[in-house]
């Protein structure tokens, strides 16, 4: 019995040591945690937008006021900047056919717009979209000298972010 006792004691101690000593994987993990460097989580949001312009405006004898819409969607702007949409006419808001012409004018959201720059829409940073209702109104009346033909004008929508 006396001979067996030291053997049992040695066995017990060796079990205990293996039980309390950390595994090799744990040692590596702890070591790597101690030496880890931080990583950056980021998102680079570039300035973007999508503009939808009216393709054409066609007046008829029965329709002298034509409604169209202008939309700006998916807007992402830098803080403090603003998106502007201006309108310009190739013939100074006259539809031309030869020497003849028919004048027309524009209402934005049912209001007159200043003719010097024709700013028709403004979208501020933070807003994701914007839109405006454009009413094109022809000034044609019965007294106007009119020749048969196809009267046209060309509109340019200028978009700027400032």
Partner 1 sequence: MHSTNRQRGKRICFLLLLLLLFLGTAINILLIWCWGYGGNRMNRENHSVFNGKVSGVELLVDPNAEDSRTYGNDSILEQGVVIAGQTSLTVSADKKEAAVDFYNPDENAQLYYLTFELRLYDREGKEYEILYTSGLVEPGKHISRITLSHELERGVHEAVIHVQPYRMNEEKTPTNNADIKISLIVQ
If binding is defined by CB under 8 A, does position 68 make contact with partner 1?
A: yes
Q: Give the span between the Cα atoms of 53 and 83, in whole angstroms.
A: 15
If binding is defined by CB under 8 A, does position 150 make contact with partner 1?
A: no
If binding is defined by CB under 8 A, does position 160 make contact with partner 1?
A: yes
Q: How many CB atoms lie within 10 A of CB 138?
A: 19
Which residue from 21, 47, 117, 126 is in contact with partner 1, where contact means CB under 8 A? 47
Closest to partner 1 by CB, 51 or 102: 51
User: What is the distance in angstroms between the CA of the first residue and the CA of the last residue of the chain?
Assistant: 95
Which residue from 50, 117, 122, 129 is in contact with partner 1, where contact means CB under 8 A? 50
Q: Give the span between the Cα atoms of 58 and 66, in whole angstroms.
A: 7
Q: Give the span between the Cα atoms of 91 and 113, in whole angstroms.
A: 18
The CB-of-107 to partner 1 minimum distance in angstroms stands at 15
If binding is defined by CB under 8 A, does position 131 make contact with partner 1?
A: no
Pick from 85, 78, 81: which is nearest to 47 by CA?
Answer: 78
Q: Give the span between the Cα atoms of 31 and 69, in whole angstroms.
A: 63
Which residue from 33, 48, 141, 145 is in contact with partner 1, where contact means CB under 8 A? 48
Q: Give the span between the Cα atoms of 130 and 108, in whole angstroms.
A: 13
The CB-of-102 to partner 1 minimum distance in angstroms stands at 15
Closest to partner 1 by CB, 26 or 63: 63
- Binding positions for partner 1, rule: CB under 8 A: 47-60, 62-63, 66, 68-71, 154-161
């Amino acid at each position: 019995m006396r001979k067996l006792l030291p053997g049992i004691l040695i066995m017990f101690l060796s079990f205990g040591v293996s039980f309390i000593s950390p595994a090799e994987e744990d040692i590596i993990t702890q070591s790597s945690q101690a030496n880890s460097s931080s990583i950056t989580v980021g998102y680079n949001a570039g300035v973007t937008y999508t503009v939808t312009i009216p393709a054409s405006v066609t007046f008829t004898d029965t329709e002298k006021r034509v409604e169209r819409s202008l939309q700006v969607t998916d807007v992402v702007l830098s803080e403090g900047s603003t998106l502007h949409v201006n309108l310009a006419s190739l013939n100074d808001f006259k539809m031309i056919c030869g020497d003849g012409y028919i004048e027309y004018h524009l209402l934005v959201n049912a209001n007159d717009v200043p003719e010097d720059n024709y700013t028709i829409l403004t979208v501020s940073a933070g807003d994701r979209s914007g839109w405006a209702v454009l009413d094109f109104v022809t000034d044609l009346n019965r007294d106007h000298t009119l020749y048969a033909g196809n009267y046209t004008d060309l509109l340019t929508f200028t978009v700027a972010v400032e």
